[in-house]
Structures are given as C-alpha cells and as structure tokens.
Amino acid sequence: MTPSEQPLQQNDRSPATRGPATRGPDTRSPYARAADYVAAALIFLQDNVLLEEPLRPEHVKPRLLGHWGTCPGITAVYRALNVLIRERGADVLLITGPGHGAPAVHANLWLEGTHGDRDPELARTGPGLRELARRYCAPDGFPSHLSPAVPGTLHEGGELGYALATAFGAALDAPDRIVACIVGDGEAETGPTAGAWHSTKYLDPVTGGAVLPFLHLNGFKISSPTVFATMSDGELDALFRGYGWDPRIVDVTGDPPGEPLTAAVLDAYGAIRELQRRARNGDRPSLPAWPMIVLRSLKGRGAPEEVEGTAIEGTFHAHQVPLPEAREDPVQLRALEDWLRSYRPRELFDAQGRPTAGVLAAIPEGDARIGAQPAANGGTLRRPLDLPPLEPHAVHTGEGPGKMTASPTRVLGGWLADLMRNTAVSRDFRIVSPDELASNKLDAVLATSGRAYQWPAEEYSEDLTRSGRVMEVLSEHNCQGWLQGYLLTGRHGLFPTYEAFAAIVDSMANQHAKWLKMSREVPWRAPVSSLTYLLSSEGWRQEHNGYSHQGPGFISNLLNRKSTVTGVYLPPDANTLLVTMERLLDETGKINAVVAGKHEAAQWLDLDAARAHCRAGASAWAWAGTYGGRDPEVVLACAGGIPTVESLAAAELLRRDLPDARIRFVNVVDLCGLAPPDQHPQGMPDEEFQRLFGGTTPVVFDFHGYPSAVHQLLHGRPNPDRFHVRGYVEEGTTTTPYDLLALNGTTRQDIAAAVLEHLPAHAGRARRLAARYGEHRDRLRKELRGTGVDPAEITEWKWGA
C-alpha cells in the first residue's frame, strides 16, 4: 500500500470517528426530551402523535422528509437560550443556519406556544400537535427547512452559508439585542461563512448588539465528514482566535448537553455584556474579542444505536431520516416506536396532549419567547425614513437638454450624505458596499458617516470610525447578508456595487426574493424595506478593465424572479437617479436594481421633468424626435445612461441627414413597465404602451443589458416581433468605450442604421446613409487603434451642438 493509499488517521476529538455511544438512561430535562420527541414525531408521524396506542404502519407518513441529525443540537441550543432569557432577561433573536433542522425549531415553537399564537389550530394540545405534524412537509404546509410562515425566523437556511452574515446585520444598531446564530459544520465549509467570521471587526459594541455563534460540530454531512469536525480543539481554538473570537469549546458527545452548554451560554453572555459595558463607558478594547461557542455533539442523539446491522446514532446514517422504511419494514417500525417511547412521552404531555408543568417551566413568557421576538417580524418595527428634499441636489438644465454635465452617482452621494445626517439619531439607515464609495463617486457620504471599523488601522487610513454606518468589505456575500439582516429587522439600507460583480450574490438575491414572495402570503408578516442595489461602474464603461468586468447579467437574474417582488430601473441622468432612489428607499417588500453611471455625463431632464418621467416609467422626448405629432414611421427607444447618449446621437444623425423621416424618441426608466400589466404590477397600461410604441410601428430599442431581457418583458404585448433590440451580446475586450459599443453593434451609427432599415418610404436614401454610417464607424475604430483613445467627435459630442 502506497502512502497515498493509507487510511486517514482519525482525530480522537471528532465525534465523527467515535461511532455510536453506549446508551444510558435519558437524564435530560423534561423540556429537552419533549422538544426532541416532537421533532422526531414531525418527521415520522401523521397520526397517533403522542403514542396513545401501539404504533402501526398507517401512523407513519408515506413520505419521510427532514434532517434529524442536527435536531438534538438545535434543541440543546434553544433550551440554553431559554435559560438565558429567563435568568438574565436577555433579548434574544435566533438565526438557524441548518435550515433543514426545521423539525427542531417547529418543536420548540409549538412547546412555547408561539405556533398556537399565530394559528389556533396549532395550539399546545394533542390535536394541535397532530395538525403540526400533518402540515410538516405536506402540500401547502411547512417545508423541510424554515420559511416566512415560521414564527421567530428571518432566515430560511434553505441554502447554506448566509446565516452568520445575516445575524450580524440583525445585530447592527440594536444595542440590547443578542443574535444567537447556529452555524452547522457543513455550512461552515462555505465561502460566505468563512468571510462572515470577520464581521466582528465591523460591529460597534457601543451602538450595536452582539452575535453569539454556535458552531455545531456533529461530524457528518450526508455521508462524508465535515472539515471542522475533524479538527482538534487546539486547531479550532487557534483558528477562531486568529479570526478575533474568544471561543468556548463544549464537548457533549458523551453526555447530555444541558448543563455544560447552558453554563457556556451564560458565561458568554456575561463576557458580551462586560465588553459592551466597558466600551459604553469609554474603555473600548482595541481588539474586541467576542465570545463564541463550538458545540461538539453526537449526530442524531437519541436515534437507535443500531438497526439491522447499521449503526445510526453518532454516524452519517442519522443525518437525514434514520429509519426511512419505517412504514414498510416491521423491524424499522419497532425501532421507531422504541425510539419515540424512550423519551417517555407520558411524563411530558397530559391527557389532552398539553405539555406538563415540568416542560412549561423551562419556557420564557410573552414576547421574551424566541418565537415571539419582534425583530423576527421586522416590518412591525420599521419606521419610514426621514428622506431629505431633492431640490438642493438637483442639476439645473436651464440651457436645455444635454448642455450641463454631472456625475449621477456623485450627485446622489450628496443627497445620501443628507440622508445619513437625518438618520444620525435614529441609526436606521446603512450603506454596504464591496467597492469603496470613493470608487463609486459616493464619497460625500463619508463626511457625515465614516467607514465602520473596530480594529486598529494604519494612520493614513481615511474616514474610519467605529460608529460609522458605511460598511465596506471586499465580500459581496457579507454585504448581502448584513443588509438582509438589517432590513429584515426593520431598518433601511443601500447596496452599491460594480455591475459586473453583483452576480456574485445572484443566489442570495434569489433566496431573499423567495422569502419576500412567501412573506406576502403570510397574513401576520409586516412588509420590510426593499433591498436596493445601485449598480455602478456599469459594463459599458469597463472597457479598460476588460471582458471580465463587462457583464450586465444581474438585470436578467432579477427579471426571472417573481414580478411582484422585483424592479429594474435605468435612470438616464442624475435627476432621474435622485427621483428613483427617493422612491425606492421609501418602498417595501421588493428587490430593486438601479443602474447608474459614475462618470461625468450629459443631463437631460430638470427635476420636474424627471419626476414626471419616473412617475410614468417611460415617456416620449418630443425635442429629440422628428415626427411632428404625426404617427411615427419608427420608434427609437432606449434604456440606460450610455444607450440614451448613443440613441440621441443617432437621432441627431437622422435629423440631419433624413429630416423628413418621422421618428419618435422614447426613453424607458422603469424597465418592468414594458411588461403587460397582467404579468408585472409595474407594467404600463395597454393604452399608454400603444401611445408610446404604437400597435404595429417598428421599434428599434437600444438597451443597457442583454437584449433577451427586453424580449422577455415584451412577451404578451401586441406584435412583439416589431421590437428590434440592440444591447450587450457578450462581445468585449480591453479597448475604448466607443470600440466596446462597436463590438456589440450599439454605436450611434449602428443604431441609426438599424432605424433606416425600417423606413421603406426612404429606401434608396436609407441604404446609402446606412452604408455611410458603417464606413464612418469603421474609420473611427481604425483611428482609435492608432491613438489609443476615442476620437473627439465621440467624447466631446453634445446634443444640438
């Protein structure tokens, strides 16, 4: 046997390598036994849920779903947190990363009565437990992971990796809140979780609450060991101290977890409050080390040790459903009944199925219960933002369209600085960004709220302040998680990022969109603030960075989400950006993408016109068209800052060279307005759509992103084939801005030529002009290859000059 074939040496610290423990009497508290019993009953039983008669096959669900392996650990954490709440009056919000451990969460919610508070059919009685079991993993019931319909939750755990960053977002600007976060050892292997451990460096102990992570090590994923569970205590201690944490390792693989885990939680809470006390009295630690708990437990504790020669408890066979054939296999059915009766349910529930006094004594009261935590239904805590007026920041266009220039994001930055000033006391607005605000021309904000950072930094670092509400880190995942946790607990925020790299959080945005969609269907859920992305450094101005930075695909991702929770906006100038952002920061229950340039660019609309334009979602700019109020022969439409410039330049070419052609110019700011109103709530009415685009008129549409996005929205409109969309077609390189447009067929010459194709009344002249425009474009491309920069006629072009 070669060295590479030698079996790995097993780590004696890891429960993954110990095999099943020797079963002794269950000495855990009545509450812990009751919670584990209910969790197991939810997975397996559809009837006889309190074992009032011998278990028969028909009592077992025909389809068994859920992850038992993590449930006992979740129950142990829940019980310890209940002790913390009762004995110390702690304000605790729980975020559970292992979402498929939902049976354990449901069990604790049922025992504490918060399920019954939301739905009387789930009352703490035998029929209530039977109904909960019936709904678990049933059509129109609860899924196998958490969901918005579950009280006390604001994170699904349906996709692993995001719990810890979300927990930190929930703790920001909530000085009394303890956010307990269970991180599974499988989840801990993910990149988002790895980045999120650094979040302590951004959490202010004066203005913020605290996150208490529980890294739950129980050894296995579906069948392979987890990385963290194979690490020794010394390795884990060194790793997390290096991150800046103060870990407490609790190993309960051989004993019931109750007392050791509870003691560790109480000790951690004391350390948290001492750290906060010192900081709030002016004695800030230079390297604040927050406590965390590493919990080693036995995989699927309580399940049978062995059935039909297969070891279960303490092995990967306990990860999901330990007895998958219990309905059909008499041996497994008997093992299931023995397992469930080992909790001694008759001691835990009375004749009506209600938890006994011994169980109830472990539960906090009222809103102190974890399932009743107000922050987990953050819309009830949300207050409208104190939005500053736009007028002091608006760009004046008194000389006419296109005569003034401004950086849209720089203008917005001034308004956001005022917003930061307005919320200095309420502390309910934050900006998170993986790309520094200075890069996005939003750095005016830093004059009113610096960059949050807690650890010592070099003297030349600028604008760092421990109480800052701007959070910059080169982790899109952290930013997304922080902002989700912040919004879901009732606050407001903004996420500026480079357009090309917004796609890094495509999956997180997808999960959040599903959460928002499902939340709308839960009657007791109050709406939370919308999550708004500001996509700056747009792909058309990433020509210098090259092909990897040229990607407008995030728009397409959002358009594939449920229309009731998504919006896409492409303001063509600074004033429309101001109006758009004012609207979206006042909105609830959605995910929005706003695409805006940061470079100096022409300004087209004054503030009043911008308000009217954004209110309509799209409008005809009569000053740019040549149809003179008559029916147009072609509609020239555009959406996006760069497409607006190129389309206006194309309109000017046509106005000069073919003045008798009837062309209507339409600018679209609310992209979803293109959709039929029965397919998107922002879809413009049919009569308005026809007023802008006609019923049969050809439309040449210059779009910021992939053309397919526009075609997708137009589906269902009359004659959608008449729309000829130009946009990004996945051609790029390191070049100049104009050349990048040429590569994708979206220069002003290309747009003008496309319009000429749909002017049959001018066919001969149109062909000659199109050829001339193509030759002109090619000459410009040849010239820029000699100089390395775009020609002056492109860079210095102004409307009507």
- Residue 521 CB-density burial (10 A; 0-12 exposed, 13-18 middle, 19+ buried): exposed
Question: What tokens appear for 102 in the block?
Answer: 């939902």
Handedness of CA 133, 135, 138, 142 (dihedral sign): negative
Question: What tokens appear for 159 in the block?
Answer: 């996709």
pLDDT tens-place string over residues 471-523: 999 999 999 999 999 999 999 999 999 999 999 999 999 999 999 999 999 99
CA within 13 Å, CB half, 72: 29
Average pLDDT over residues 311-323: 88
Could you tell me if 597 and 737 are in contact, meaning their C-beta atoms sit under 8 angstroms apart? Answer: no
The overall average pLDDT reported for the chain is 93
pLDDT tens-place string over residues 44-100: 999 999 999 999 999 999 999 989 999 999 999 999 999 999 999 999 999 999 878
Average pLDDT over residues 521-541: 95
- Give all strands (DSSP E) within 38-111, no chain letters: 91-96
Residue 23: the pLDDT is 52
List Cβ<8 Å contacts ≥24 apart for 653-657.
Answer: 653/748, 653/749, 653/752, 653/773, 654/626, 654/752, 654/755, 654/756, 655/626, 657/769
pLDDT tens-place string over residues 337-395: 999 999 999 999 999 999 999 999 999 999 999 999 999 999 999 999 999 999 999 99
Query: For residues 394 and 414, what is the distance between their CA atoms, to the nearest angstrom?
Result: 10
Which amino acid is it at 256?
P
Q: Is the pLDDT of residue 258 over 90?
A: no
How sure is the predictor about 15, in pLDDT bands with cuts at 50, 70 and 90? very low
* DSSP character string of 43-60: HHBSS-TT-SS---GGGB
Residue 790: the pLDDT is 96
Q: Is the pLDDT of residue 25 over 80?
A: no
Residue 316: the pLDDT is 87
Q: Is the pLDDT of residue 24 over 70?
A: no
Instruction: Count the neighbouring beta carbons within 10 Å of the beta carbon of residue 421.
Output: 15
Q: How far is CA 144 from CA 155, 183, 371, in A?
A: 14, 17, 18
Options 3.40.50.970, 3.40.50.300, 3.40.190.290, 3.40.50.10490; which CATH number does 391-601 get?
Answer: 3.40.50.970
Q: Are strands 591-595 and 531-536 parallel, antiparallel or unpaired?
A: parallel
Q: Is the pLDDT of residue 8 over 50?
A: no
Residue 515: the pLDDT is 96
Give SS3 for 784: helix
Residue 16: the pLDDT is 40
Neighbouring residues of 541: CB distance < 8 A, sequence distance ≥ 6: 597, 598, 599, 642, 737
Domain 621-795 classified CATH 3.40.570.10?
Answer: no
Residue 7: the pLDDT is 39
Handedness of CA 723, 724, 729, 734 (dihedral sign): negative
Q: Structural domain boundaries of the chain? A: 15-375, 391-601, 621-795
How sure is the predictor about 294, in pLDDT bands with cuts at 50, 70 and 90? very high
Query: For residues 529 and 506, what is the distance between their CA atoms, to the nearest angstrom?
Result: 19
% of the chain beyond a pLDDT of 70: 96
Give SS3 for 603: coil
Of the listed ranges 38-42, 284-288, 421-425, 632-636, the least confidently predicted one is 284-288
- Residue identified by tokens 């060295």 is 3
Of the listed ranges 164-178, 363-377, 447-461, the least confidently predicted one is 447-461
Chain center to CA of 278: 34
Confirm whether 15-375 and 621-795 share one CATH topology.
Answer: yes
Residue 801: the pLDDT is 64
Q: Is the pLDDT of residue 22 over 50?
A: no
Query: For residues 552 and 434, what is the distance between their CA atoms, to the nearest angstrom?
Result: 17
Q: Of 99, 108, 246, nearest to 166 (Cα)?
A: 99
pTM: 0.95
Which residues partner with 588 through β-bridges? 529
pLDDT tens-place string over residues 628-686: 778 999 999 999 999 999 999 999 999 999 999 999 999 999 999 999 999 999 999 99
How long is the chain?
Answer: 801
Residue 44: in which H helix or E strand, if any? helix 30-44
Q: Is the pLDDT of residue 404 over 70?
A: yes
CATH class given for the domain over 15-375: alpha beta
* Cα pseudo-dihedral 293, 297, 300, 306, rounded to 10: 170
Question: What tokens appear for 753 in the block?
Answer: 């030529």
Average pLDDT over residues 24-37: 84
Average pLDDT over residues 41-45: 97
For the beta sheet containing 699-703, the strands, ordered from the edge strand earlier in sequence to the opposite edge, are 618-620, 663-668, 634-639, 699-703, 723-726
Q: Of 487, 444, 692, nearest to 584 (Cα)?
A: 487
